[in-house]
Structure 1
Amino acid sequence: MAASNTSEAAETYDQLLTHYEDIVHLEQIDNVLFWDQQVMMPADGTPARSGQRSTISSLKHDLLTSDELGGLLAQLADASLTDEEQAVVREIDRQYARETQVPGSLQRELSQAISDSTPVWQTARENDDFESFAPMLEHIVEIRQQQAAEIDPDAEPFDVIFAEYEPYLSVETVESMLHELRDELVPLIDAIRESDVDPAAGVFEGTYKSDAQFALSEEVLDLVGVDWKRTKLDTSTHPFSFGNQFDVRMTTRFDEAIPVDGLTSTLHEFGHTDYTQGLPDDAYGTPLGEPRSHGIHESQSRFWENQVGRTEAFWELIQPLLVKHFPDLEGTSARELYAAANQVYDENYIRVESDELTYHMHILLRFEIERDLINGDLAVADVPSRWNELMEELLGITPPSDTVGCLQDIHWSLGRIGTFQNYSVGSVFAAQLQAALESELGDIEMLIENESFDEIHAWLTDAVHQHGQRYTTDELIEVATGEPFTATYFISDMKEKYSDIYDL
């Protein structure tokens, strides 16, 4: 029965928020446990941590599927609510509807499998031993298939899992976008490889100690405006950023032969941090205080990594910091640094170390493999060969090992199958956001040159962060930019930028 009057509806709505806040607290506790496992926990701590995270997952599932929550949602179904209250009810109801279809035992099984598989993946990656990880991946894939069948037995399993991370963009929309990127970018990549220009020639040769890179990252974060009172920076095997408006645990990683990668990784994770901390403080514990979706989150990380961190103005700005930490770069021009930071690699095996162009072929590869895995069209044992086949097809290279091939990403060991395409969604939307920002604030290179990072923060917060989950993804894109989701800006920017760098 719906709430019958305004006061009754208000009381019911408050009860809903109180209930949901406990769910958010449990999720945040699990995030801290995960951070600790990746950064601080002793190597042999997994058995206890697996049980701890499984218990948290079980408690969260119980709260999210409780009769009490279902009753509150039913009472509010036809109640007179504000637009923001309706959005809160919509988002909680969406989670409730999905979660109630999945038995708690299956959720606990997935949580246990994730905790167990992560250290196995780490060891397998170090030892180039896919066979040791394969049973873990098979188990996770089977659980995800069971979840999909419970939620919607009539839909393609991958479509169901996809909607967990991006509920308001269709698989068809994203697949079409990925194919558009392939069709437009592969010829550009080929032209670059045929070019005689080598923008990275000798620029970053040498060794760049990790501790110096870490210190550089800290200073760059100071420059772009990180809030250290709410942020902690560490290193991990695979960079990530978890947390909330008040407490973000951010990690990065460094390669002593390639200093660009550590810096862009740090900026990428800063983008996630900036989004999280831009969510309204007073909405913590509600959907209005949570990010819209994985794809929108990635738009913020890719914005700071690429729209800011790969511009010529940015490299000119940080040149003194680079020379401070790496004196051998004295005399290297900002233009040389910028061009080298945007080099398109002939042999580009690692997604998180790839350039803006080849990156999206890595994403398309993972999208096709994950879709086929979840839909039962690809066996886990065949993943390495299919991976190498697609790498050859899309990028013309074959990984020399599974360590730099199908074992490179942590996502599968975390059960996060069906997420990779959102990195491309994020990149495309970041370019669309840049166009909208420039129409109001002016050229982004000039903003960076003038160190107007507070203005950039404020614009992004106004356009994206402040809304939390008030809007669906397609609605938010239009609210932020004034037009529907489009790859036009991204493709145009890439052609202009790389034609300039490579004299095409």
Structure 2
Amino acid sequence: MPTPTDPRQAYLELVKELREIAVIGSIASVLSWDEQTYMPPGATDHRANQASLMARISHERFTSPRLGELIAAVEQSPLVADPQGDIAANIRETRRDYDRSTKLPASLVEEMSRVEVLSQQAWSDARKKSDYAEFRPWLDKVLHLKRQECQCVGFKDDPYDALLDQYEPGETATSVRATFEALRGPLVDLVGKIVGSGRVAPLEILQRNYPAAAQEKFAREAARAVGFNFNEGRLDTSVHPFCTHLGPGDVRMTTRYDEAYFADAFFGVLHETGHALYNQGLPKDQYGLPRGDDVSLGIHESQSRMWENLVGRSRAFWKHFMPQARAAFPQALAGVTEDAWYFAINDVRPSLIRTESDETTYNLHVLLRFELERALLRNDLSTNDLPGAWNERMEKYLGIEPPDDARGCLQDIHWSGGAIGYFPTYTLGNLYAAQFFEQARKDVGDLEGQFARGDFAPLLGWLREKIHSQGMKYTPRQLVMRITGQDLAPTALLAHLRRKAGELYGVS
């Protein structure tokens, strides 16, 4: 079939094709969600074959010569004259993805998808038994495939850049390292002052009996209150909490419940709700196109960390929710004051688990993972030596050493799923979140007063307008510059952490 000579017809055909490919991808996402929630263990091999086939079909459709011809027909036309217009953004980002994808053989994409399913199941089993040796062969397979991906995609200075760029466009290992170095010293200094302050949060409050059913009900109420639409979403349980966007009107969240520890599930739900609100706020009429997709994982993470920490751990948030919490957990919260609760949920201390760590130490967990995965990818570190290297860095950065693999190098699902290059986006998200929130305060007004009244709509409306509705119209750095008038910097995050440390620990 000849390529349409009319650029607008070419664009309409391209849109139709991209949306069909997006539907194929959403089917694969349903399979992945089911794998993490309800799939019986015995179905792992069959699910791997299903995922592999879907990955091959999607890759073949997206890398077809016809798609390349349609992109070229539009990008040479007046339809893209406005670089910030919807069509220009869709063509720019589709070209970027197309050029990357066409460098990857279908056989490699298919094999990566198959191995990732098997590897995730192996990780889940190994984590339950705290047996890294059982998972190590699968990590070797994943790394072997990711190195092949790096060679196919190409890179200038560091193979890690080839993987990082798909998650955070424009960032490199060098820029990430510089960002981390700007944070490391101030964070280590602040943690040292907090530990040396002599003040200890009443963490015991969070370690009482919190029935799972009551936790789920309370978490759902909070998610709904801040704006999550349960008519277009779900909340289920899984080994590792996550959020996935299956398409317009279908956003799935998961969490895990520990009846002896309140914070894990509740703040996990707020975190995933932040992701879900972003997904629910994307332009539905742009589904399948870059303008209907999130700009980067760092920006996505800024939304989850904002709702989890800047909102969910604020005094104002609990001014509204504390009465509901007392009703949900009358025995656990008997005699607990708002001040004690606020201190407990903002406890700062070195901990073993990244997802349970506090705002201040969290980035040190991310730094550790960035360094190790980069070393693994570059063959500077053997998978055989990973547990020792992990424990050594935990001692160096946080002053504690994991007692077993489950609380050490097996705690995260990311590497088993091939998500190497993903971890830095968490710290970038923290930086973006603090900078966005600081600007929202200026633009929206008394956020704390609104939260105390249970009114979260003004903040959500601001995020919808400034971030969610924009899709991939701008790059991450362009977006933060447009919203705040400044480039990404650690200033806002460090100021936020120091303010809270001063309030609770008397240090800054």
Q: Which TM-score bucket, shorter chain as reference?
A: over 0.9
Among candidates 22, 25, 36, match of residue 24 of structure 1: 22
Could you say which residue in structure 1 is the equivalent of 2:392? 389
Residue in 2 that maps onto 1:108: 110
**Range moving further from structure 2, 69-78 or 411-420:** 69-78
Question: Hey, what does 2:287 align to over in structure 1?
Answer: 284
Is residue 374 of structure 1 aligned with residue 372 of structure 2?
no
CA deviations 1:371-420 (Å, max 9, x no partner) are 11112211111111110111011001110011000000011111101111
Q: Aligned runs of 1:322-337 on 2, under 5 Å?
A: 322-328=325-331, 329-337=333-341
- 5+ unaligned residues in a row in structure 2: which ranges? none
For residue 31 of structure 2, the aligned residue among 30, 33, 39 is: 33
Of 196, 214, 217, the residue aligned with 2:216 is 214
Which of 404, 412, 417 is the aligned partner of 2:415?
412
Partner residue in 2 for 1:238:
240
Number of the residue aligned with 1:54: 52
Q: State the alpha-carbon separation in 2 of the partners of residues 253 and 444 from structure 1.
A: 30
Determine if the alignment matches structure 1 residue 480 to structure 2 residue 483. yes
Contact 2:368–2:394 at 8 Å: present in 1 too?
yes
Unaligned regions of 5+ residues in structure 1, if any?
none
Letter in structure 1 aligned against 2:140: E
In the other structure, the counterpart of 1:351 is: 354
Matches of residues 123-272 of structure 1 in structure 2 within 5 Å?
A: 123-152=125-154, 154-200=156-202, 202-243=204-245, 244-272=247-275
Code of the aligned partner of 1:114: E
Query: Which aligned pairs between 1:292-307 and structure 2 lie closer than 5 A?
Result: 292-307=295-310
Tell me the distance in 1 between the aligned counterparts of 2:238 and 2:13: 39
**Amino acid of the residue matched to residue 33 of structure 1?**
L
8 Å contact from structure 2 (residues 210, 259) kept in 1 = yes
CA contact (8 A) 1:241 1:249 kept: yes
- Report the 3-state secondary structure (helix = DSSP H, G, I; strand = E; otherwise coil) of the residue aligned with 2:317: helix
Change in 2 beyond 3 A, CA 1:3/1:65: closer
1:99 corresponds to 2:101: yes
Contact kept in structure 2, 1:169 and 1:474, CA below 8 Å: no
> Residue in 1 aligned with 2:13?
15
Alignment partners' CA distance in 1, 2:203 and 2:74: 63
Residue 80 of structure 1, aligned match among 78, 81, 88: 78
8 Å contact 1:435–1:489 — kept in the other structure?
A: yes
Contact kept? 2:3, 2:70, Cα under 8 Å: no
- Does the CA contact (< 8 Å) of 1:3 and 1:79 recur in 2? no
State the alpha-carbon separation in 2 of the partners of residues 411 and 119 from structure 1.
12
Identical counterparts, % of pairs: 38
Deviation at 1:19, TM superposition (A): 1.2
- CA shift digits 1:174-215 (9 cap, x unpaired): 221111211111111111111221122542342212222111
1:459 aligns with 2:462: yes
Is 27-36 or 439-448 further displaced after alignment? 439-448
Distance 1:104 1:193 in 2: 52
The question of whether the paired residues in 1 share the 8 Å contact of 2:318 and 2:452 is answered with no
2:317–2:454 Cα contact (<8 Å) kept: no
Moved more, 437-446 or 183-192: 437-446
What corresponds to 1:118 in structure 2?
A: 120
| Separation (CA, whole Å) in 2 of partners of 1:313 and 1:254 | 25
Q: Say if 1:180 and 1:245 are closer, same or farther in 2 by CA, change over 3 A.
A: farther
| Aligned-pair CA distance for 1:480 | 2.3
Q: Distance in 2 between matches of 1:147 and 1:357?
A: 34
Deviation at 1:422, TM superposition (A): 0.4
Per-residue deviation, 1:473: 1.3
How many Å apart are 1:482 and its aligned residue? 2.2
* Contact 1:248-1:273 within 8 A present in 2 as well: yes
Instruction: Report if the CA contact (8 A) 1:271-1:305 is conserved.
Output: yes
Please give the secondary structure, in 2, of the residue aligned with 1:242. Answer: strand
> Partners of 1:201 and 1:22 in 2: how far apart?
50
CA deviation vs aligned residue, 1:213-233 (integer Å, no higher than 9, x gap):
111111111221210110111
Q: Secondary structure at the match of 1:30?
A: helix
TM-score scaled by length of structure 1: 0.97
What SS does the aligned partner of 1:44 have? helix
The 1:9/1:318 distance shift into structure 2, 3 A limit, reads same
Letter in 1 for 2:124: Q
**3-state secondary structure, aligned to 2:415:** helix
Q: Is the 8 A contact 2:3 2:69 kept in 1?
A: no
State how far apart, in whole Å, the 1-side matches of 2:206 and 2:111 are: 46
Displacement of 1:442:
1.6
> 8 Å contact 1:199–1:502 — kept in the other structure?
no
State the distance in 1 between where 2:203 and 2:162 align.
46
Q: CA deviation at 1:450?
A: 2.4
**CA drift at 1:493:** 0.8
Contact 1:120–1:133 (8 Å) recurs in 2: yes
Deviates more, 1:38-47 or 1:193-202: 193-202
Q: Does the CA contact (< 8 Å) of 2:207 and 2:262 recur in 1? A: no
* 1:260 to partner: Cα distance: 1.4
Task: State the alpha-carbon separation in 1 of the partners of residues 224 and 76 from structure 2.
Answer: 48
Contact 1:245 1:278 in 2 (8 A): no
CA distance in 2, matches of 1:102, 1:359: 34
**SS in structure 2 opposite 1:58?**
helix
The amino acid of 2:65's aligned partner reads D
Give 1:58 deviation, angstroms. 0.3
Per-residue deviation, 1:245: 3.5
The alpha-carbon deviation at position 169 of structure 1 amounts to: 2.6
Q: For 2:263 and 2:72, how far apart are their aligned partners in 1?
A: 52
Deviation at residue 431 of structure 1 after TM alignment: 0.4
Moved more, 321-330 or 453-462: 321-330
TM-score normalised by length of structure 2: 0.96
The 2-side partners of 1:324 and 1:452 are apart by 20
C-alpha displacement of 1:84? 1.6
Distance in 1, matches of 2:434 and 2:363, equals 14
Q: Secondary structure at the match of 1:239?
A: coil
Q: CA deviation at 1:86?
A: 1.1
Task: Report the RMSD for the aligned CA atoms in angstroms.
Answer: 1.5
Question: CA deviation digits over 1:77-134, x for unaligned, max 9?
Answer: 3211242211101111111111111111011110010111111101100111101100
